[in-house]
């Protein structure tokens, strides 16, 4: 049975709750819970009413936590068992929290334990709520997980692509990433937040008919093969083929 489930057993006139894998006295637990609750807390919206804010111990994320008991089994050291106050409030008010589901705060107020402010949902729902409410900021640029480039390198690579002074594969080798990843950064598929004009897309073999007039003009102006290759941003073998066609 899941340790998130709550069960009741009666022993004479007392009632105990099975929470987080331990039995606790219900009356004592509720007394401890209410002694730490402020029912006149923050009012996020008139439709929701005031939050029931936990005024005592919280975890690193600001959610209230309440001590249940210390337990030990088979000679192991005692472990302290806590439960989040909003989970306890929901369990007492509505019953067990099903496996694989979490509680979502409609008020976005972590210390709140008002069961009317809590909704069941999946972790995907919870993350979607956080994105919608702006609680999660998108990581971009150098802060993105797995980022290889720095902002300075992206600006430099775009300038090289704009001037067509360095081959893409040479830039990729210098910054230590794949050519495809570099192309995405240069032309704005990634790193779109960096200001400035993006370099024009380089010509491919499909655009040779468009490039030929300019190739012929460059040849007439006396440009070398190396200069033509850098100028058009193509492989040297492609440039030789273009020159051959232009001279026919």
Report CA dihedral (172, 178, 179, 184) to the nearest 10 degrees.
Answer: -110
Instruction: Of 54, 16, 59, 21, give the one whose Cα is nearest residue 36.
Output: 54
8-132 maps to CATH 3.90.75: yes
For the chain, the maximum distance between any two Cα atoms, rounded to a whole number of angstroms, is: 106
Between 228 and 44, the more confident residue is 44
Instruction: Report the pLDDT value the prediction gives residue 53, as an integer from 0 to 100.
Output: 95
How confident is the model at residue 206, as a pLDDT? 47
The 3-state secondary structure of the chain reads CCCCCCCEEEECCEEEEEECCEEEEHHHHHHHHHHCEECCCCECCCCCCECCEECCCECCCCCEEEEEEEECCCCCCCEEEEEEHHHHHHHHHHCCCCCCCEEEECCCCCCECCHHHEEEECHHHHHHHHHHCCCCCCCCHHHCCCCCCCHHHHHHHHHHHHHCCCCHHHHHHHHCCCHHHHHHHHCCCCCCCCCCCCCCCCCCHHHHHHHHHHHHHHHHCCCCHHHHHHHHCCCHHHHHHHHHHHHC
Return the structure tokens found at 170.
């040479």
Q: Where are the domains of the chain?
A: 8-132, 141-186, 205-247
Mean pLDDT is lowest, of 21-30, 68-77, 166-175, 190-199, for: 68-77
pLDDT on residue 6: 47
User: Which pair of tokens denotes residue 96?
Assistant: 């067990």
Backbone angles phi, psi at 24, to 5 degrees: -135, 150
More confident residue, 53 or 80: 53
Average pLDDT over residues 83-105: 90
Range in 11-15, 120-124, 190-194 the model is least confident about? 11-15
Return the higher-pLDDT residue of 143 and 207. 143
Q: pLDDT tens, 165-221?
A: 777 778 888 888 888 888 888 888 888 888 877 777 655 444 667 778 888 888 888
Higher-confidence position of 12 and 80: 80
């Amino acid at each position: 049975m899941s340790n998130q489930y709550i069960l009741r057993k009666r022993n004479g006139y007392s009632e105990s709750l099975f929470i987080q894998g331990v039995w606790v006295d219900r009356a004592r637990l509720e007394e401890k819970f209410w002694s730490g609750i402020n029912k006149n807390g923050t009012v996020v919206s008139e439709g929701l009413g005031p939050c029931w804010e936990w005024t005592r111990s919280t975890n690193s994320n600001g959610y209230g936590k309440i001590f249940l008991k210390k337990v030990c089994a088979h000679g192991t050291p005692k472990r302290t068992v806590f439960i989040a106050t909003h989970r306890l409030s929901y369990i007492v008010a509505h019953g067990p929290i099903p496996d694989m589901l979490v509680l979502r705060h409609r008020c976005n107020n972590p210390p709140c334990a008002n069961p009317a402010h809590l909704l069941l949902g999946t972790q995907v729902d919870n993350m979607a709520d956080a994105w919608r409410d702006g609680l999660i900021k998108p990581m971009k640029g150098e802060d993105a997980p797995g980022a290889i480039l720095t902002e300075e390198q992206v600006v430099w690579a775009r300038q090289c692509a704009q001037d067509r002074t360095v081959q893409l594969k040479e830039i990729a080798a210098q910054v230590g990433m794949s050519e495809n990843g570099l192309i995405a950064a240069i032309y704005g598929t990634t790193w779109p937040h960096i200001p400035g004009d993006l370099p024009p897309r380089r010509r491919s073999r499909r655009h040779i008919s468009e490039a030929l007039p300019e190739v012929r003009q460059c040849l007439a102006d006396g440009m070398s093969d190396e200069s033509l290759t850098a100028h058009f941003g193509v492989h040297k073998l492609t440039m030789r083929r273009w020159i051959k066609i232009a001279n026919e």
